[in-house]
Structures are given as C-alpha cells and as structure tokens.
Amino acid sequence: MSPDSPDPHEIDLFEVARTLALEAGELIVTAREGIVDVTSTKTSAVDIVTDVDIAAEKHLRRRLAELRPDDAVLGEEGQDTPGTSGVTWVLDPIDGTVNFLYGLPSYSVSVAAVTGCATPEEWTIEAGAVFEGGTRSLWTAARGRGAWLDGVRLQRDPGPGPALSSTLLGTGFQYIAERRALQGALVAKMLPQVRDIRRFGSCALDLCYVAAGRLDAYYEHGLSPWDFPAAVLVAQEAGIRVEGLDGSPPNTTLTLAAPPGTFEALHDALKAAGAAQLWDTP
C-alpha cells in the first residue's frame, strides 16, 4: 500500500524501498531452507557474516543500480558507492544474522533512503522498509505520510503512554565482550524499574515492534548506521518519539524509542543508570 498522495519523488523512494526489501527478504528466507555458511567475522569472533548476507546485499546493490543508478549506497557488507542525486540508500541485508544462522525467527532486511549527509546525526530519512523474516511481514514508512504493517496503517495511541514501571522494554547488546558486560550492568539497573526487558536480536524489528505496540519502548548502545534508519522512520511515523541522549537525533551512540508520554521518564532513568558514561568507557 502506498502513502496517500505523495509527491512523485517520495513515492518513487517508497516503492523502491518496499520492492527491494521484499525481494531481498524472500531471497534470505529461501536461502535459510538450505545450508548457511559463515564466511567471515567483523568486530569479534562471534560477530559473523554469512554467505546469505553477502548474496542479499549484492542483490540489493544490483537492483539499485538498475532502478536508481544516480543514488549513493551505504551497506553493511560492501564498499560505499558514491552518487550524484543527493539520495543515499542505507542497507542491512540481514539484521539479526546470528538469529538467522541459528534458525531463530527474529531477523530482517532493512532498506532506507536518506537525503542530506549520509550520517545518522545529519541525514533526513525519506522512506524505509523492513522485511521480517520469521513472519514474512513488511513494515514500511514514508516521511510525513505514515507507517504500515502489511498495508495496514500503524498509529500508536497518542495518550500519555505507560508509566516507567509498566513499560515492556527492548534492548540489544554488542558482540565485543567488554562492551557487552557494561551493557549488562546497565540492564541490571534498569530491570527493577520497568515491567520487564526483552532482547530479540534485531534492532530494526525492535523499533518496528514499538511502532506496533508489541514493545512499549526500546534503547540500544553501539548500533551501526545501517541498523536503524528504516525502522526509525516506521516508529516516528507511527507516533513514537525516537532520539539519542539529551535531544540529539537517533544515532550509533544511543538510540531510544518510546511513546511521547513515556520517553522522558525512560530517558532520565537511563541517564541515572549511567547510559551516558557507558559509551565513554573504552
């Protein structure tokens, strides 16, 4: 389902994002029925890349070269490709690769179109699509036009939102053991303050779940630029407040998403628990 009456530029980006997420999503779901090989690692020995990650990103890049040849590309598994149009495509061929390897359902494809500088603090997210592998669901959004799950409009209740003590909170962890230990200590401080904490293993799906009310809120330190832009737009267009610390844009240091009425309490609780200092620790 397309946004209502978008201008031609926006609907073009929206339709391309939607099409590519569906194509790459079906590619990885089909590949999961066979044997998946680990081809390399990234930040640590447990931060893996599979042959399907590589194949999915190659497919996305090939299709973008056909559909939007003047656009730039920023992808997780390949070299950055410059462009001349002012649009950059930010690609995560599999968000949740470890889940994918183990046969767990929480993995996704994330495709976003951004304009302006291709960094999270400065870009404007124009369109995005997230394909959920475990359910074959498609989450989509276009800036200023709304967000959808399988064509059904997403809109969180504009009311006050849950109290912090009633908040079901999502988060995630890095693959560097020392950093993960610090993140675990922060979780230990947050756990008594909220309803409970969930860790699904895909940032993009966590943000989409907040958009749909399957989680009340989400935060995570140390994301990569390709992890979150499509899902950030889905959440924002559904009425969710998504920021970093102290009013900064959502970014790789810390991204926090919650209904407007819950956001400040969660933000302040995270700061009191040491969220700002955690990133500064080597």
Alpha helices by DSSP H, listed for 132-247, are: 177-190, 203-212, 229-237
Q: Examine residue 226 and state whether it is found in any structural domain, yes or no.
A: yes
d(CA 92, CA 21): 10
Same domain, 45 and 143: yes
Same domain, 28 and 146: yes
Write the pLDDT tens digit of every residue in 249-282.
Answer: 999 999 999 999 999 999 999 999 999 987 664 4
Same domain, 198 and 112: no
Q: Examine residue 78 and state whether it is found in any structural domain, yes or no.
A: yes
Q: Examine residue 3 and state whether it is found in any structural domain, yes or no.
A: no
Q: Examine residue 2 and state whether it is found in any structural domain, yes or no.
A: no
3-state secondary structure of 218: strand
Same domain, 16 and 38: yes
Same domain, 90 and 172: no
d(CA 130, CA 6): 20
Same domain, 137 and 27: yes
d(CA 12, CA 115): 14
d(CA 111, CA 71): 13
Q: Examine residue 199 and state whether it is found in any structural domain, yes or no.
A: yes
Same domain, 25 and 101: yes
Same domain, 15 and 49: yes
Alpha helices by DSSP H, listed for the chain, are: 8-32, 51-67, 97-102, 177-190, 203-212, 229-237, 260-272, 275-280
Q: Examine residue 197 and state whether it is found in any structural domain, yes or no.
A: yes
Same domain, 18 and 144: yes
Write the pLDDT tens digit of every residue in 47-101.
Answer: 667 899 899 999 999 999 999 999 999 988 778 899 999 999 999 999 999 999 9
Q: Examine residue 216 and state whether it is found in any structural domain, yes or no.
A: yes
Q: Which domain holds residue 262?
A: 164-280
In the chain, what percentage of residues exceed pLDDT 70? 93
Q: Are 231 and 130 in contact (CB under 8 A)?
A: yes
> Is residue 175's pLDDT more than 90?
no
Q: Are 145 and 237 in contact (CB under 8 A)?
A: yes
Look up residue 58 and give its amino acid.
Answer: K
The pTM assigned to this predicted structure is 0.92
Same domain, 177 and 140: no
Same domain, 173 and 149: no
Average of pLDDT values for 117-125? 91
Q: Examine residue 1 and state whether it is found in any structural domain, yes or no.
A: no
Same domain, 195 and 106: no
Domain count, the chain: 2
> Is residue 1's pLDDT more than 50?
no
